[in-house]
Amino acid sequence: MSDARWNEVDNDVRSAVHHFSMAAKLHEKQGRCKDDFERYQVDMALMHAMQSGHMLQEERPSGESWHRDLVNRVSNALGDRPAILDSALGRAASETRFFRNLATRGYDTFSLERCEPAISAARVLVRGIPEAVSEFRRLDDPPANATRDAGARRDGDDGPPP
């Protein structure tokens, strides 16, 4: 993948981590709201933050279930490509996706209890997504000099020390 494309991926990861982190902070604030209006503001901000955490630049699958299909795509190995998300991160991404659907379609049915599993999942993603993407990048697109150096060592040349 080109360096420019990885820049977009890195920006998407930072954005997802930021939005999911803010959603978790908003969740903590929900029980401390002083009135209905403040609670409304916090609830709407939380729903928006959870939705925004999913705004990644991945080429999306087609069809009505494209969000689910995208989570499945990155949670499974495809041919020579390893899974980007391990099973725990895949489950967390699915949980936040479920909540995204609730936030998109269910403003009037929103409740604190219904968002708790998604907030827990968002925290898992905040902790794990940056490392998962970095590891995928290392495996999928190693720096050119690392590939060259590894090739030199295979040819019997000791090459530079690792």
Domain of 34 in residue numbering reads as 3-58+83-152
**Total domain count, the chain:** 1
CATH of the domain at 87: 1.20.120
For the stretch 109-151, pLDDT in tens is: 766 677 889 899 999 999 999 999 999 888 877 776 454 444 4
Q: Which residue has the tokens 């080109």?
A: 2
Q: CA 68 → CA 39, 42, 75, 91, distances in Å?
A: 30, 27, 11, 11
Nearest by Cα to 96 from 69, 75, 66, 117: 117
For the stretch 31-73, pLDDT in tens is: 899 999 998 899 889 888 888 887 665 566 777 777 788 888 8
Residue 100 domain-assigned?
A: yes
